[in-house]
Structure formats: structure tokens, C-alpha cells
Structure 1
Amino acid sequence: MDLYRADRDSDWTIERVQADTFSAEASGARGAPTFFVGTQRHTGPHDAATLIAALEDHGGR
């Protein structure tokens, strides 16, 4: 548990979480989970079949 606390409170972890938060806000993510296909935020359903189809469609471009 001490290692967890040390990692959680480290400057590196705090900076990484802040950077990820800013990146998420800038990309339009408003909650979790948020999925991206390539560089585009996926706004449709996030069931497996829909995500697979979106990935396959993107791969064909």
C-alpha cells in the first residue's frame, strides 16, 4: 500500500493525470467511457459490434 500511495502522490502521476484531463476536455470527452476511432471521437453506441464495425470501417480508409 505504501508504494501505491507514493506512486499516486508523485509529481509524475499528478502531472500525467492533469495532462490527460486537459487532453480529454480538449477532445470533447464528457464522461467515461469515451472511444476514439483514429482521431475522431465515436459518438454512437459503444457495444462491441458497433465499435468493431467503426474500427473496420476506419481501417478501410
Structure 2
Amino acid sequence: MTQQPSKTAAKTKAGSPSGTKTSVKPKFDLNDPGWYLNRELTWLEFNRRVLHEGQDER
């Protein structure tokens, strides 16, 4: 029994001529520090929430 390539693989190969590069502009600037969390600040915020829950008398 021989394996045949899937239809999606055939479409992918036929989709662009070989040797050409497609330039995709990123949707987000990954160098923007706003996309990243400060681990120390998030840890302090977590601790604040835990202490607040501990003070809740429910």
C-alpha cells in the first residue's frame, strides 16, 4: 500500500512558486514592553489578593 500526500499538502505546495519569499507584516510589535508582564509586580498583586481573601469573613 502506498501513501498519497494529503490534499492540503498538495494545495500548500501549489499555493506559491518555489523560491519566492512572502513578507508577512507582524500584527503586533513584539519589542513593545507593554506585551510582557513584570513577574515581581504580578507576584505582589497575587499576594495582595490572597491576603484580601484571608481577611474576608464569609
Task: State the TM bucket, normalised to the shorter chain.
Answer: 0.3 to 0.5
> Which structure is higher in strand share?
1
Higher relative contact order (CA 8 A, sep 6+): 1
TM-score (normalizing by structure 1): 0.34
Of structures 1 and 2, the larger Rg is shown by 2
